[in-house]
């Protein structure tokens, strides 16, 4: 191989290494709800950071307004590592335009699990005010959005945040549960298909393939489910053991993981969905109340995964709690 060819090969390997490093970059340390530790001229009161796919995040800022904090909207943020080969994200940056000023926020990892931010403000209203640079600290908070605030920026398939009650507390959802004897559960053939029954009660409806029915039965036995429950006006069916949700993933389970802190109800394509970043968790059609019921269920039980038996048309859906 010629010297020039060797140089080209080495350059290609270096480029591949750099791209691989970038692909591994981890931005999860920035996710969550954050509060400005000291209200200042930056105008930042609260910051919400959510996943937006890959190394990107969505940033929503609430300004220090009265009587209710003002929603600056949602912005796509870029992440940065210490060097091109690093897998650790050290800062993220996003831009906002309030009409009278352009603002760029740069957020970096801080001490003791907190974050540090820098806000650069450029006035564009011709007022003659000096542009300024403010710094501050962000700390974790359970606050999840102001009371009674509508979301003027609907979530897209790429980013999105909703909100909860000011305290971050979640009310107990209205559930309807039917008990059954899990020890009596069994898979039986019904014509050309299968179902799961317990005594005279059908737990998993007719039409299942044998493998799916056996998998549903194994799931019921593994978690010792003895309650089939529903929430919302258009019932969403799920499973519990007594008053508890399941925890710990069963081997081979088909699950979608999500962050209950960043999950929210969003109006996308004329439908209400519960989403977390790019992940759709539940589709409630045109019923916002149903989406709110699902979100209440997630927050109250600290759910962080939705699991299925028999996708794409699951015969059983259950949740996991961390």
Whole-angstrom Cα distance, residue 231 to residue 300? 13
194 has pLDDT over 50: yes
The pLDDT value recorded for residue 70 is 76
176 has pLDDT over 60: yes
The pLDDT value recorded for residue 277 is 60
Instruction: Tell me the per-residue pLDDT of 246-305, one tens digit each, with 9 for 90 and over.
Output: 999 898 899 988 877 667 777 777 788 887 665 788 888 888 888 888 888 998 898 989
Length in residues, the chain: 322
CB atoms inside a 10 Å sphere around CB 151: 19
Whole-angstrom Cα distance, residue 204 to residue 183? 15
Q: Report residue 67's pLDDT band, with 50, 70 and 90 as the boundaries.
A: low
Instruction: Tell me the per-residue pLDDT of 99-116, one tens digit each, with 9 for 90 and over.
Output: 778 899 999 998 888 999
**Which of 22-36, 61-75, 298-312 is the most confident on average?**
298-312
Hey, what are 71's tokens? 């929603």
Whole-angstrom Cα distance, residue 300 to residue 298? 6
Among residues 315, 301, 282, the alpha carbon closest in space to that of 240 is found at: 301
Where in the chain are the domains?
31-140, 175-321
Among residues 217, 247, 225, 230, the alpha carbon closest in space to that of 309 is found at: 217
**Out of 33-37, 142-146, 212-216, 235-239, least confident range:** 142-146
Could you give the percent of the chain with pLDDT greater than 70? 78
Hey, what are 254's tokens? 């088909």
Beta strands 175-179 and 70-81 are unpaired
Architecture of domain 31-140: Beta Barrel (2.40)
The pLDDT value recorded for residue 282 is 87
- Burial (Cβ within 10 Å: 0-12, 13-18, ≥19) of residue 116: middle
Q: Report residue 206's pLDDT band, with 50, 70 and 90 as the boundaries.
A: low
Distance of CA 303 to the CA centre of its chain: 11
- The predicted model scores a pTM of 0.52
The pLDDT value recorded for residue 214 is 94
DSSP assignment of 182-217 equals GGGEEEEEETTEEEEEETTEEEEEEEE-HHHHHHHH
Among residues 92, 139, 93, 143, the alpha carbon closest in space to that of 114 is found at: 139
Whole-angstrom Cα distance, residue 209 to residue 194? 6
Cα dihedral sign, 20-24-30-31: positive
The pLDDT value recorded for residue 202 is 92
């Amino acid at each position: 191989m010629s010297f020039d060819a060797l140089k080209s090969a080495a350059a290609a390997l270096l480029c591949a290494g750099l791209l691989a490093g970038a692909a591994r970059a981890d931005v999860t340390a920035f996710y969550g709800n954050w509060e400005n530790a000291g209200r200042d001229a930056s105008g930042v009161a609260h910051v919400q950071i959510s996943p937006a796919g890959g190394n990107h995040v969505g940033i929503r800022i609430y300004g220090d307004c009265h009587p209710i904090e003002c929603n600056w909207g949602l912005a796509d943020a870029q992440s940065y590592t210490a060097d091109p080969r690093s897998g650790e994200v050290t800062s993220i940056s996003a831009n906002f335009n309030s009409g009278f000023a352009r603002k760029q926020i740069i957020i970096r990892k801080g001490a003791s699990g907190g974050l540090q931010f820098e806000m650069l403000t450029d006035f564009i209203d011709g007022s003659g005010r000096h542009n300024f640079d403010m710094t501050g600290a962000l700390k974790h908070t359970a606050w999840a959005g102001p009371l009674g605030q509508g979301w003027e920026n609907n979530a897209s398939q790429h980013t999105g945040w909703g909100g909860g009650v000011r305290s971050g507390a979640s009310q107990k959802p209205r559930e309807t549960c039917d008990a059954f004897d899990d020890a009596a559960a069994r898979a039986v053939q019904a014509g050309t298909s299968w179902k799961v029954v317990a005594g005279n009660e059908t737990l998993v409806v007719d039409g299942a393939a044998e493998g799916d029915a056996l998998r549903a039965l194994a799931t019921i036995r593994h978690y010792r489910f003895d309650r089939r429950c529903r929430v919302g006006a258009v019932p969403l069916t799920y499973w519990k053991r007594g008053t508890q949700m399941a925890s710990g993933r069963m081997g081979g389970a088909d699950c979608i993981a999500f962050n209950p802190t960043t999950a929210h109800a969003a109006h996308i394509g004329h439908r209400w969905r519960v989403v977390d970043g790019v992940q759709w968790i539940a589709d409630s059609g045109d019923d916002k109340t149903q989406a709110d019921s699902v979100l209440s269920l997630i927050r109250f039980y600290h759910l962080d995964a939705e699991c299925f038996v028999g996708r794409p048309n699951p015969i059983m859906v259950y949740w996991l709690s961390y």
